């Protein structure tokens, strides 16, 4: 059987796994199985249940490991709605890296304020809003993926995350996928991933 390679736009409050190991009869949570009827595919990395956006799923275990492992440094781009307007100092702190988050120091990252909010559907439920506090959208590209890292980074510089959307993984983007939708990767999308894997094997 040939391997499958999928892109999925994970909605808010969906677990990025196929089973909820902590489910109870009275508290069933949505999982990937509620959206993806494809057997034997597994997520490449995770998104927190309260985060949204792009995920890759595949039956190709070696590629899954290659894309998930921090040492290979595949860029991940996020759109982040934060409370208040980030200062130049805060943005520079994020760019330079070296923020102490739990037991690690962050790497340098690319960060910019988006001049207009990204064109996203409303979140259900909507984010909390306070009329006297403005919000802003920033774009951040990381090459690492610790647990809840983006949220902890923005909080560390004084601008808590309100909404978090993963917009891209390397060259792969959300274009055309609404929340809950998935599709197979095209040959042109898949080729760079397999080339990267082949290069790793030869090193």
Catalytic positions, please? 48
Closest CA to 3 of 54, 40, 44: 40
Q: What b/e readout covers 37-63, taking b as 16+ CB neighbours within 10 angstroms?
A: eeeebebbbebbbebbbbbbbbbbeeb
Distance CA 79, CA 164 (A): 6
Distance CA 173, CA 98 (A): 28
């Amino acid at each position: 059987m040939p391997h499958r390679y999928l892109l999925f736009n994970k909605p808010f409050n969906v677990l990025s796994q196929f089973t909820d190991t902590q489910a109870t009869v009275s508290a069933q949570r949505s999982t990937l199985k509620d959206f993806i009827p494809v057997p034997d595919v597994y997520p490449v990395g995770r998104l927190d249940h309260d985060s949204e956006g792009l995920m890759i799923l595949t039956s190709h275990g070696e590629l899954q490991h290659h894309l998930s492992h921090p040492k290979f440094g595949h860029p991940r781009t996020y759109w982040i709605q934060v409370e208040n307007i980030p200062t130049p100092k805060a943005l520079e702190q994020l760019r330079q890296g070296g923020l102490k988050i739990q037991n690690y120091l962050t790497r340098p990252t690319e960060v910019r304020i988006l001049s207009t909010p990204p064109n996203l559907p409303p979140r259900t439920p909507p984010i909390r809003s306070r009329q006297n506090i403005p919000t802003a959208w920033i774009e951040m590209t990381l090459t690492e993926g610790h647990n809840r890292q983006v949220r902890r980074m923005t909080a560390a510089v004084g601008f808590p995350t309100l909404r978090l959307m993963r917009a891209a993984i390397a060259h792969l983007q959300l274009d055309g996928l609404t929340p809950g939708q998935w599709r197979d990767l095209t040959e042109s999308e898949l080729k760079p991933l397999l080339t990267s894997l082949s290069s790793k094997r030869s090193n």
